[in-house]
Structure formats: structure tokens, C-alpha cells
Structure 1
């Protein structure tokens, strides 16, 4: 594919006040310039601070679409801000993302070496929470809505939609599973290759003759499965230092939300619990990890804007465990961050949203629209949540596969 450079003029046009999922805000106008000579056109990628700004940017015409995790995909639809052009499972190359991994649970290697029983018990809680999500979707939706929006509506500018409705619509688009099967590992390898192709992975992972050994340690999953099967929880020694656990404000990380919010259920059913210190908080910041009623550790629950931010926290030992997207985890390991992937959290759950009425109902029509706009000298601008995030990798890979050039939109 011929390399194309497009001059882009970006103007600050509107100050946005965001009440959900936003920790920062970028506000570019759509770029203008000469038409691309690339065979299939050019698309500009705008990296935002997380997904929070995206619906408002789309509603005000500052971007033409966004690729995001749930619930922001369904929030755009429910609010009539946009329409889903394509869910991530249908992005090209054909079939590559049909059952793609989404998020994983990662652990710092040194922390696991020092606290294996604690990590195994915490993992048992994650596996139990996954089963809870699949068995109790309505209860999960209510818990998620409370955590993500304090039980109130999601609000984007002057548009407000029911958080419970949005989460209810989001959950069926996600497959919650912790099984690191051979097919799951093969799909993760697709992400590795996509990252290599994009030039962002070129270190330990890219050069390893045994990528599985570099990426994974499934012992926490194996131990957690045995704990739940035997109903016999090994009580770890108390952890002296506070444990940091990272996560995103995403439906994908529902396992954490239900474990904390319905802690009494898990305590009574499994003898493992993550009890919030403030039982009244919509989004607890600190919890006590309990095994058979005894406190084992104080856990700080640390939210971030996107996966790469979580991996920066892991690199500095600010968090010891994290729920995070597959590509950020791979990229972090590639540059030497001492973490390992312990097991999956979920699959699927991302989507490309475009403005209502846009001529894009699937990837083919989106690609045709991109070429039409590029030929007219007004390339599409698509927002992605941070360089190296799972959504950023997928949209870049899809565009590359379709022969569409990518430029960076800066502010």
C-alpha cells in the first residue's frame, strides 16, 4: 500500500463537559485537505483520552465515527447519536476477529511469586463472578449501571439515556469466559501478528521462539478452577502491603463490579469476597479481600482511561493485578513490563459507531464511504481510545487490510 501523507488542519471548536467515563477531552474539527491518491482512500484516527468524549464529539460533528468498548457503543445507539456500522467480530480481515479475545487478567510476576495463594483465591473469585454474570444478566446490568453511572442516566451534552437500558443492550454483545482454550490462544496470536504488522510490537514477544512462555502463566486459572470444584479455599497469609487492582469503566470488567457489589453472595457461596469499605459508594475505591470471613488484604480499585494507562501503572508497580485489553498486555510484555497473562476475562464487545444516517451499514459500505470522502478531500475522522488499545489495533488492522491509508489527527 502506497504511503500517503495528508495535511490536516485541526481547530478547537467546542468545550465539552462530560459526566461519564471522561478523564480528559480532545476536541478537534474534522480535517480538510486535498483528496487522497491512495487507491482506497485515507481515514484519520483521533486518539482520545478514553472513550468518554466520543459520543459528544460525534453528536457535535467533530468526528465521523468512533470505535469503542461497551457501554459506549450501545450508548451512541440508544441516544440516537449514532448507528453501529459494524461490531468488532465482523471487522476484516475476514474471519480473523469472529471470536476475538477482548480483556484478560494480568498479574505482576514478582507479586505472584510472593503471593500465589492470594492470587489464586482472587482468581477463583473472578471465575465465580463470570459465572454470576452469565447466570444473572439483569442483576449484572443493574450493578454495572450503578458502578458506571451511579444508577443515573448516561449523559452526553444535552442527550441523556437510561444506563440500565444501555447496559442491558451491551451485555449480549460480550462473551464472558475465563477459559484459555487453544482457540483462544490462536486468536490472541492473531493480535500479536496484527501488532507486529502495525510495527508496535518488535521486542520480547516479536522475537521470541516460544511466545506462549513469554505471554502466559495459566497457573492461577488452573488453581482457581480446582478451588471452585473442590469448594475448598486455601486461606493465604495476610498481604502486608495494599494491593492495587486496575480496571476500566467498561462493561467488559463486570466481574470486578459484581464481585464487589454483591460481595455477600460470594462470601456466603464460596467463602471468598471483596467487601467494599464504603458500602454506600456507587463506585468503591477500597475493598477488603476476605477468605472464610478473615481479612487477607486491603485492595485499592484503580480506574484508568484506557489499557495502555493501566500497563503504565503496572510497569511502575502502582498496581499488581489488572483487568486489561489483550493488545495493551501484549505490548507491555513486549517492552519488558514484568507481567503475565493469567486467563481471559471476556471476548468480543467492541463496535464501530458512525453518525446517524451515514451510508455505512457494514464494513463494505463503510470502506466505500471512506473512499468517497477521501476522494472529495474530506477524509473521515474516527476516534479510538488511545494508541495501542484493543479498539485502536482492530480499526488500524481493518483499514490496512482494506488498503485504506491511516493518518494521525492531532490537536
Structure 2
């Protein structure tokens, strides 16, 4: 079961323009190949790849198991400062649902803000909850290597920036993604030719975040009217969704301290399928928790009203809006959280020595092979951007 869940961990990110490097600054060559995130540690441990660029917890898998080591976390990749606070996961909602149930959306937003804050103060508890939700607390096996899922998550959680603030850097990261999608012809709908001053209005509605933030700051959550039918909330099986897992598994803490909770209908280990949204002691909504296989799948479910809200990456949400799905990004829930890993035996300690290794391997006629997830994902673009900025020739293999 753990192996299946590992392979199911999916995500999506943004793409951006790649810099043009003067020939006199050129270095060696790197091949980029695409594969599922769950396969990357096995490929690295068996020497089929030299490294990989991926989201957590697979960066932590490498370090916890001894398979590999981190060259750079995503926010520190060159050019310096480019990826600070970069986009990843966000809460989104159908426009019709938001309009009809504003107070419920505000309450859920407030809870996720609070649980994001909780993670910063309780990383070990968050790791324990996430390991149990995602893997049932079981060990993770990659070829001949077996490691504790709890140890992996303890290494992963501190490297993810759990933030609900729609910062300037976060917005600019999404702007870069949109421009890149235009350049490669992936946008064909409403965002394709929209003026830049209109794009943000088409993508975002921060009013629920602002209302939720005001309630959190005031220490009083408004009790919504009870929904007449269940709310379906989609999410992905990734530790990037830890604020949702924490809010549900530690519901008693949030209920007692803040008067709001997502109480599981059934107290079971691992993931939860149904929870009750309770505000000030009143059950206001039945929340069905729908685990998706990827952000694009969740967006398809939102388009058909099978989901009313979703916890997923901003890139698939942006693509869905471009195609005409009437949804809005409400606020970020998590930023950063990816990294570049190489084999433990590699003669590399940082980005500069990584470039030296690239040159040496290219001179030998055996260019490095680096795995990345989906083509056009944030991880794919970040590694290509960084390599080309350093004068490395990048080829897809």
C-alpha cells in the first residue's frame, strides 16, 4: 500500500522563460528525462540517473535513506533570488459556491490559516500526522533501501514554507508561469491574450482570505449558516497538503483553542474521507475529502461541480481558468518545497561543484542525466532555468 501511495504522490508547478546564455559562458551538457516522482529514488540508487529535481518528500527520501544528497533547495537555485517564495499549492473554489456560501468558505480559509501557523510551531507532530495520513506510518521501500516514513517526513516538513500570504513574490512567480505558458503555446483560452492588468483579476479572489485573516486576528470565527448538502473538497496525497491533514487529525486542539474544527466522522488511522466543519460548537457542513491523483484531475472534477473546493497546485488551477472553468484561487497554502538531489557518491557539495561535475562528465563523453517530473512543472523549469543561467546546455532525453 505504501508503495502505491508513493507512486501516487503528484504535484504540478509553474514554468518560466529561460535566459539566453552568451557562448563564451557556456559549460557542459545535461540531459533531462521525465519520470514519476516515486520512481526517482530507485533510479538514483541503481545508477540509472545521476540526480533528480522533485518536490518533497522525495528530496528527504534521498537524505534520510543515504541514497543521495541535496545540491540545492528550489528557492536557492540560481539566478539568486529568482525562486524566493515561489508558487506551489493553493486553495481554490468554484465561483458559484463561493458566492452562495461565503461564510463557509471564510471559515475553511480561517482554519487553514490557523493550521498553517500550527505547523510552523509543531513540525514533528506535523511529520507524524502526514506520515500516517500518506503511508499509514509504514516504512518506505526503494529497491534495497527501507526507511521510516516518519523520519522522511521529519526531514521534509521543515523545508516547505507553509504560508497563506499572497506575497508579491508569490504573485510574480505565477506571472512568470503564465508568460511561459504563452510562449510555448499552452494557453489557448481566456488567458492567452488577456492584458496583464486583467490577468490577476481573472485568477484571484482574495476577499475570503482577507475576511478569514480578520477573524483569525480578532480571535473570533463567525458561525456560518448550515449547508443543505455536503461540500466536496479535493486534495493531493502530498505533505504539501499538511495543513489540511493537521486540521483534521488535531481537530480537538483547533476546536478548543479557536472554536473551529474539521472533526472526522470516524476516528480511523490514516486518511479521512468525511469530516464535519464545526464552528463555535455548531456543525455547519459535511465535508467530503476527495483524494486526487493530480492537480489536473481535481480541476476536471471542479469543472463538473463534483468538487466545490480544491487544495492543489496553482499551475493546474491557472490552466483550468484559461479553459473557462469558473473558479478562483483564494490564497496560497504552501510555497517552495522542492530540491535538486544527486547520488551520495557524487563529487558535489553545492551548485558550483555541481557545475564542475557537469563539465567533467561532459568532457568524458558521459553527460549527467537528471530526472524531473512532468514536463513544464515548476521543478522541470527551475532546473532548466538554473542550468542555462550557469551556461549549461540542456537537452531532453
Instruction: Report the TM range for the smaller structure's normalisation.
Output: 0.7 to 0.9
Match of 2:145 among 159, 163, 173: 159
CA separation in 1, counterparts of 2:91 and 2:263?
20
Match of 1:290 among 278, 282, 295: 278
CA separation in 2, counterparts of 1:370 and 1:313?
43
Aligned partner of 1:381 in structure 2 is: 369
Provide the aligned C-alpha RMSD in A: 2.8
Match of 2:343 among 355, 358, 371: 355
Aligned partner of 1:337 in structure 2 is: 325
Q: How far is 1:155 from its partner?
A: 2.3
Structure 1 residue matching 2:315: 3-state secondary structure: helix
Call closer, same or farther: CA 1:39–1:80 in 2, change over 3 Å. Answer: closer
Q: How far is 1:276 from its partner?
A: 1.4
Aligned partner of 2:74 in structure 1 is: 88
Q: Which runs of 5+ in 1 are unaligned?
A: 1-16, 26-37
Query: Which segment drifts farther, 158-167 or 197-206?
Result: 197-206
1:16-95 correspondence runs (5 A): 18-23=3-8, 40-48=28-36, 51-95=37-81
Match of 1:222 among 210, 229, 232: 210
CA separation in 2, counterparts of 1:89 and 1:169?
17
1:212 aligns with 2:200: yes
Structure 2 residue matching 1:22: 3-state secondary structure: helix
Aligned partner of 2:105 in structure 1 is: 119
1:190 aligns with 2:176: yes
Structure 1 residue matching 2:191: 3-state secondary structure: helix
Could you report, residue by residue, the CA deviation over 1:299-339 in whole angstroms, capped at 9, with x for unpaired residues?
22222344333333333433222222233333332333322
Aligned partner of 2:235 in structure 1 is: 247
The structure whose RCO (Cα within 8 Å, separation 6+) is larger is 2
Aligned partner of 2:315 in structure 1 is: 327
CA separation in 2, counterparts of 1:280 and 1:189?
41
Q: How far is 1:74 from its partner?
A: 0.8
Query: Which segment drifts farther, 393-402 or 255-264?
Result: 393-402
Structure 1 residue matching 2:38: 3-state secondary structure: coil
CA separation in 2, counterparts of 1:316 and 1:368?
51
CA separation in 1, counterparts of 2:388 and 2:184?
9
CA separation in 2, counterparts of 1:177 and 1:389?
21
Call closer, same or farther: CA 1:407–1:114 in 2, change over 3 Å. Answer: farther
Aligned partner of 1:139 in structure 2 is: 125
Asked if 1 retains the 8 angstrom alpha-carbon contact of 2:30 and 2:370, the reply is no
Match of 1:174 among 160, 182, 187: 160
Q: How far is 1:105 from its partner?
A: 1.4
Q: Choose between structure 1 and 2: higher helix proportion.
A: 2
CA separation in 2, counterparts of 1:305 and 1:52?
13
Q: How far is 1:404 from its partner?
A: 4.7
Structure 2 residue matching 1:122: 3-state secondary structure: helix
Could you report, residue by residue, the CA deviation over 1:134-175 in whole angstroms, capped at 9, with x for unpaired residues?
122222222122212222322223312222222222222122
Q: How far is 1:24 from its partner?
A: 9.4
Structure 2 residue matching 1:279: 3-state secondary structure: coil
Asked if 1 retains the 8 angstrom alpha-carbon contact of 2:30 and 2:369, the reply is no
Structure 2 residue matching 1:53: 3-state secondary structure: helix
Write out the 4+ residue segments of structure 1 that deviate beyond 6 Å after TM superposition.
none
Structure 2 residue matching 1:52: 3-state secondary structure: helix
Structure 2 residue matching 1:18: 3-state secondary structure: helix
Call closer, same or farther: CA 1:325–1:79 in 2, change over 3 Å. Answer: same
Q: How many residues align?
A: 380
Aligned partner of 1:235 in structure 2 is: 223
CA separation in 1, counterparts of 2:9 and 2:217?
44
Call closer, same or farther: CA 1:333–1:114 in 2, change over 3 Å. Answer: same
1:314 aligns with 2:285: no
CA separation in 2, counterparts of 1:237 and 1:188?
34
Call closer, same or farther: CA 1:302–1:68 in 2, change over 3 Å. Answer: farther
CA separation in 2, counterparts of 1:319 and 1:63?
38
Q: How far is 1:269 from its partner?
A: 1.9
Could you report, residue by residue, the CA deviation over 1:155-211 in whole angstroms, capped at 9, with x for unpaired residues?
223312222222222222122211113343234323334444554346433522222
Asked if 2 retains the 8 angstrom alpha-carbon contact of 1:286 and 1:300, the reply is yes
Call closer, same or farther: CA 1:302–1:387 in 2, change over 3 Å. Answer: farther
Call closer, same or farther: CA 1:332–1:383 in 2, change over 3 Å. Answer: farther
